[in-house]
Amino acid sequence: MKKRRPPRKRREAALKKKREIVALLKQYDISEYIEKAKRLDRKFILHIGPTNSGKTYDAIQALRQAKTGVYLGPLRLLALEMYDTLNSYGALCELLTGEEFIRVPGADLTASTIELCDFRKRYDVAVIDEAQMISDPHRGGAWTKAIFLVDAAEVHICLSPEAENLIVRILKSFEAVYEIHRHERLAPLTFAGKIDSMKEVRDGDAVIVFSRRAVLATAAELQQLGKKTSVIYGALPPASRREEVRKFANGDSTVVVSTDAIGMGISLPIRRIIFREITKFDGEDDRILNGDEIRQIADRAGRYGIYDKGEVLTVSEVELVEDAITHQGLPLETVTIPFPKEVIDSGYSFRKLFQEWQALPFIPGFSREDMSEAIFLYSELGDRLARHMERQLLYELITCPVDIKNERLVIYWLECCIAISVGVEPEVPDFETDDLEGCELQYKALDVRHQLLRRIGVEDPRMDEKLELCEKINKLLLTDKRKFYKRCRICGKPLPATWSYGICDDCYGRRRRKHRRK
C-alpha cells in the first residue's frame, strides 16, 4: 500500500506546483506577444468610424486588389458577406468558419471568423474587422492575437472611435508603422423621440426587444396590424437568419423585429430603430442596457444610398436613449490576453491550469481571457474521463462552442465527447422538431456534432440536413408567430407582446372592484 505523505509535505508539494504553473503561464503574458510582433514586417492602416461609415468597405477595396489576403471578422454572417462581396468583384475568395469551409478553385483570398486565423501564412493584405471586440472577456483574445501576430505586409484594422486609444497603444508597444483613416457616418443619425403604440410602426422600421418570445409575440402583434415581418434572434440558425434578412432586403417583409443580434454583422435597409424594450436578461439578472449597447443597435438605422438619415425612437427611458446616441461612448480601457494553448502539453491538469490562469495578478490595462465555460465543460467530462484523453483533443472538446445554459445540449455534447474518446462517431441528435424551439435545439445539437467532428479532422456529411432544418424553421416562422400573440385570458383583448400579465388593465380593475365589494 502506497504511503501517504504527511499533510505538511502535501501542502508544500501543492504550493510548489502552484508556483510552477504560475511561472509557466506568466511566460505567455503580453510581453511575449510584443517581442513576437516586433519581428514581423508590417504596416497598419486604422479605419476608425461608427457603423454605416464605410470603414469596412474601404478596407475590403484594399483586400480585393491583393494577390493573397484574409478577412477576419467576428461572425459567420460577416465572413459570408465578405465572401460573397469579394467573389462578386471577381476576386476569388474561400470561406472558412467553424461551421463550414467552402473551397474556391484558384482562390488566394479567405474570408474567415477571427478564431480560425492561420498565423503560419504570409499575406499581402489582412483585414481585422470590429476590433473594438478586443475588450470582450470571452472572445477578445482572438483580436489581440490577430493584431499582434497576423503576418501581412499591410494590416487594415476596422474599429469604433471608442477603441482608438487602445489599438494605438498596442501598435506603439511594438513600434509599428501605422496611419489613421477617419470615417464619418454616411447617413446622419438622429433621436426622434418617444413612440406610444405599435400602430405607429412604419415600413422600414426595426423593433428591438430582448427575448425570443418577445420577438415572436411582437411580430405576431404587428402582423395583426397588417405588417409583414422578419424576425432575428440569437437562437435562429445562420441560414434561417439570412433568409429573414433577404425577405426584408427584397421587400417581402416590411418590418424587422429583433433582439440585439441585429447589432453586428447584419446589413439591412433600416429607416428607424425602435426600442420597445431597454432591459435585457444578462444570464443572472434583468438590467438596463448601457450606452455602448444602445449605440451599437441604434447605429443600424439609416442605410446610405437608401435613406438620407437614420432615426431612433423608444417606448421608455427617453433620456437614456437620447444621451447614448448623441454622445460618443467612453474609451475602451482593457486588452484581453488570450489563454496560451502552448501550455496544454505541460503535463499539469487542465483544471489547475485554468484555475491559476483565472487567478493571475491584475495587470493595468489588460484582462485575461475568461475560461469559465471551458472549466464548466471540463467539470462535466470529469477528471476520470479527461485523464484518458490525448491533451490536444481534450482542449478541442472543452473549447467547442456550446450553449452551457441549455442542459439538454450539454448532455448531448457530453455523449459526443464520450463517443469520440473511444473512437466512435457520435450519434446524430434526435430532438423533436415539431415546433420552432425543437427545431432550433436540433440545429444547435447538429452544429455541436459538426464542430466536434471538424476538430478531430472529420468532415460532417450532414450539412444538407442542417439546411433542410433551416428551411423548416423559416416555414414555421410564418405560422408559429401566431402562437405567441398575447390576449387577455378573460376578455380576449389584444395585449402588447411585452405585457407581463395574463389579463388587461380593464379586467384587472373590474376584478379588484369586485373583490372590494365582497
pLDDT tens digits, residue range 390-443? 999 999 999 998 999 899 999 999 999 999 988 898 999 999 888 888 888 999
Are the C-beta atoms of 62 and 314 separated by less than 8 Å?
no
The CA angle 266-269-272, to the nearest 5 degrees, is 100
Which helix (H) or strand (E) element contains residue 274?
strand 272-275
Write b or e for each residue in 76-98: b if 16 or more Cβ atoms lie within 10 A of its Cβ, otherwise e: bbbbbbbbebbbeeebebbbbbb
The whole model's pTM is what? Answer: 0.83
Amino acid at the residue 469:
L
Are the C-beta atoms of 73 and 82 separated by less than 8 Å?
yes
What confidence category does residue 497 fall into, taking pLDDT thresholds of 50, 70 and 90? low
Q: At what angle do helices 55-65 and 76-88 cross, to 10 degrees?
A: 50
**Exposed, middle or buried: residue 4 (CB in 10 Å: 0-12, 13-18, 19+)?**
exposed
**Exposed, middle or buried: residue 510 (CB in 10 Å: 0-12, 13-18, 19+)?**
middle
Q: Can you give the C-alpha Rg of the chain in angstroms?
A: 25
The bridge status of strand 279-281 relative to strand 286-288 is antiparallel
Closest of 295, 361, 280, 292 to residue 333, by C-alpha: 292
Q: What cell numbers appear for 409 in the block? A: 445540449
Are the C-beta atoms of 15 and 22 separated by less than 8 Å?
no
Write b or e for each residue in 39-71: b if 16 or more Cβ atoms lie within 10 A of its Cβ, otherwise e: ebebebbbbbbbbbbebbebbbebbbebebbbb
Cα–Cα separations (whole angstroms), residue 474 to 222, 233, 287, 436: 18, 13, 31, 9
Residue 481 pLDDT: 62
Q: What is the spatial distance between Cα 415 and Cα 431, in angstroms, rounded to a whole number?
A: 14
Q: At what angle do helices 436-455 and 407-421 cross, to 10 degrees?
A: 30
Determine the distance from the C-alpha atom of residue 247 to the mean position of all C-alpha atoms in its chain, rounded to a whole number.
22
The three-class DSSP label of residue 231 is strand
Q: Is the pLDDT of residue 2 over 60?
A: no
Q: What is the spatial distance between Cα 273 and Cα 271, in angstroms, rounded to a whole number?
A: 7
Q: Is the pLDDT of residue 512 over 80?
A: no
Closest of 195, 134, 190 to residue 164, by C-alpha: 134
Which helix (H) or strand (E) element contains residue 149?
helix 140-149
Q: Is the pLDDT of residue 309 over 80?
A: yes
Are the C-beta atoms of 99 and 450 separated by less than 8 Å?
yes
**Exposed, middle or buried: residue 219 (CB in 10 Å: 0-12, 13-18, 19+)?**
buried
CA dihedral sign, ordered 20, 23, 26, 28? negative
Helices vs strands, H then E, count in the chain: 18, 18
What confidence category does residue 508 fall into, taking pLDDT thresholds of 50, 70 and 90? confident
Q: Tell me which of 387 and 173 has the higher pLDDT.
A: 173
Q: Is the pLDDT of residue 240 over 90?
A: no
Are the C-beta atoms of 115 and 98 separated by less than 8 Å?
yes
Helices in 277-360 by DSSP H: which ranges?
A: 291-298, 318-326, 350-359
The CA angle 334-340-343, to the nearest 5 degrees, is 150
Q: What is the DSSP code string of 441-486?
A: HHHHHHHHHHHHHHHTT---TTHHHHHHHHHHHHHHHHHHGGGG--
Question: Hunting for cell 431597454 — which residue is that?
Answer: 278
Tens of pLDDT along 320-341?
A: 999 988 887 788 989 999 999 8
What confidence category does residue 480 fall into, taking pLDDT thresholds of 50, 70 and 90? low
Q: What cell numbers appear for 2 in the block? A: 502506497
Write b or e for each residue in 473-491: b if 16 or more Cβ atoms lie within 10 A of its Cβ, otherwise e: bbebbeebbeebbbebeee
Strand partners, 368: 337
Tens of pLDDT along 152-207?
A: 999 999 999 999 999 999 999 999 999 999 998 888 888 989 998 889 999 999 99
Q: Mean pLDDT for the chain?
A: 87
Tens of pLDDT along 112-133?
A: 999 999 999 999 999 999 999 9
In this prediction, what percent of the chain has a pLDDT beyond 90? 45
**Please, which contacts does 317-320 make with residues 24 or more away whose CB atoms are closer than 8 Å?**
317/275, 317/278, 317/288, 318/193, 318/194, 320/278, 320/288, 320/291, 320/294
Q: What is the spatial distance between Cα 332 and Cα 135, in angstroms, rounded to a whole number?
A: 7
Domains in the chain, start-ordered, CATH in brackets?
40-182 (3.40.50.300), 189-326 (3.40.50.300), 335-479 (no CATH), 486-517 (no CATH)
Residue 47 pLDDT: 97
Which helix (H) or strand (E) element contains residue 257?
strand 255-258
